[in-house]
Amino acid sequence: MSTLDDDLANLATEASNPRYAELDRMSVAEIAAAMNEADATVPGAVSRALPQIVPAIEAASERMSRGGRLVYVGAGTPGRIAVVDASECPPTFSTPPELVFAIMAGGASAIVTPTEGAEDDADAGSAAIDEAGIGPLDTVIGIASSGRTPYVIAAIERARALGALTVGLSCNVDTALSAAAEFPIEVAVGPEVLTGSTRLKAGTAQKLVLNMFSTIVMVQQGKTYGSFMVDLKPTNHKLRDRAVRMVAEIAGVPRDEAEATLEGNDYDVKTSVLVLARGLSQAEAEARLAVAGGRLRPAMEGA
């Protein structure tokens, strides 16, 4: 067996748990309870990794405030989780698609069609970073449950050589990905219910961490007001209704007044809030937001 195979055999995420040795003999109810029990341990693992997570988010936020991007790199399940998280940023925060995006080993087709061999192509990982034009203001987060995926490690090494902020997110300890990244994050979830199936606890842990990254970075960029996503794009009935409720609550006005104001301001939540809460015209509200860098809080508190 090769050294690489030896490394895999020693990973906690590849180990079998005797607790599930009779999985195929268990009832549906027993398996569901076992999985639920296992999943309940994931938030604790993420909590233990917060001392690694917090400084990485702080550093990423600072770079984005200077014009940088947030870029995820992954293969297989981690890559698909990254695509899901990145794709939610434009509708939630009105960000351009190129501000937060994911690089998937095997390309876009690998999102729906498994291309498992792509994760072993280190040269492709490095080339993908060059193709994305990664630079010193960018943050690149490599995601690999094992922490030893060649495509992801090569991408992180290339991004770091180009001066980007690099983060390595894995679900094992003392990994090669951690060694390659400036900010290692290791969320040790242990063996899976289904041995080696890291789409389970490891995948859940990765989604929780990426939720933190994209959300907190956007909060730090002024994309929210309190807990309200005031930069959302109200492109359907549900989102328009959410916009109405936000404006009504923040500005302290009846729903019909909030809705009428939104309709008169191209459904821009922040402009509508300022019009109602501060008695401004649309032009005055837009000007105040411009001075505040698009942030509603200082625009509301300004003279």
Query: Can you tell me the mean pLDDT for 200-206?
Result: 96
pLDDT at 303 over 70: no
Catalytic residue among 14, 62, 88, 284: 88
Can you give the pLDDT at residue 254? 97
The architecture in CATH of the region 3-221 reads 3-Layer(aba) Sandwich (3.40)
Q: What is the mean pLDDT of the chain?
A: 94
- Judged against a pLDDT cut of 80, whether residue 115 lies above it is answered with no
Q: What integer pLDDT is reported at residue 2 of this predicted model? A: 44
Mean of the pLDDT values across residues 118-126? 94
Q: CATH assignment of 224-301?
A: 1.10.8.1080
Residue-level pLDDT at 16: 87
88 is catalytic: yes
Confidence band, pLDDT 50/70/90 cuts, at residue 7 = low
Contact call for residues 178 and 153 (beta carbons, < 8 A): no
Domain boundaries, the chain: 3-221, 224-301
Q: Look at residue 162 and tell me whether its pLDDT is greater than 80.
A: yes
Closest CA to 217 of 6, 83, 12, 53: 53
User: Strand order in 100-104's β-sheet?
Assistant: 100-104, 70-74, 139-143, 165-170, 183-186
Q: Report the pLDDT value the prediction gives residue 1, as an integer from 0 to 100.
A: 37
**Residue 233 confidence (pLDDT):** 85
30, 58, 62, 119: the catalytic one is 119
Whether 301 is catalytic: no
Helix boundaries (H) for the chain? 3-9, 28-39, 42-48, 50-65, 76-87, 89-93, 122-131, 150-161, 176-180, 201-220, 237-251, 255-264, 269-278, 282-291, 296-301
DSSP single-letter state for residue 228: B
Q: Is the pLDDT of residue 4 over 70?
A: no
Q: What is the pLDDT of residue 5?
A: 53
